[in-house]
Amino acid sequence: MSVSANGGTPPYKYAWKKDGQPVDGQTTDTFSKPGAQSADAGKYTCVVTDSAEKAQSVTSVECTVTVSAAAG
51-67 tens-digit pLDDT = 999 999 999 999 999 99
Q: Tell me, yes or no, whether 56 lies in a domain.
A: yes
Q: Tell me, yes or no, whether 22 lies in a domain.
A: yes
Q: Tell me, yes or no, whether 58 lies in a domain.
A: yes
Q: Tell me, yes or no, whether 44 lies in a domain.
A: yes
User: Which pLDDT belongs to residue 70?
Assistant: 73
Residue 19 to residues 9, 12, 25, 30, 54: CA-CA distances in angstroms? 28, 22, 16, 18, 27
pLDDT tens-digit map of 13-26: 999 999 999 999 99
Domain count for the chain, please give it.
1
pLDDT tens-digit map of 30-52: 999 999 999 999 999 999 999 99
Q: Tell me, yes or no, whether 3 lies in a domain.
A: no
pLDDT greater than 90 at residue 69: no
Q: Tell me, yes or no, whether 23 lies in a domain.
A: yes
- pTM of this prediction? 0.89
Domain containing 23: what range? 13-32+40-63
Distance (Å, rounded) from C-alpha 8 to C-alpha 49?
9
User: Which pLDDT belongs to residue 72?
Assistant: 66
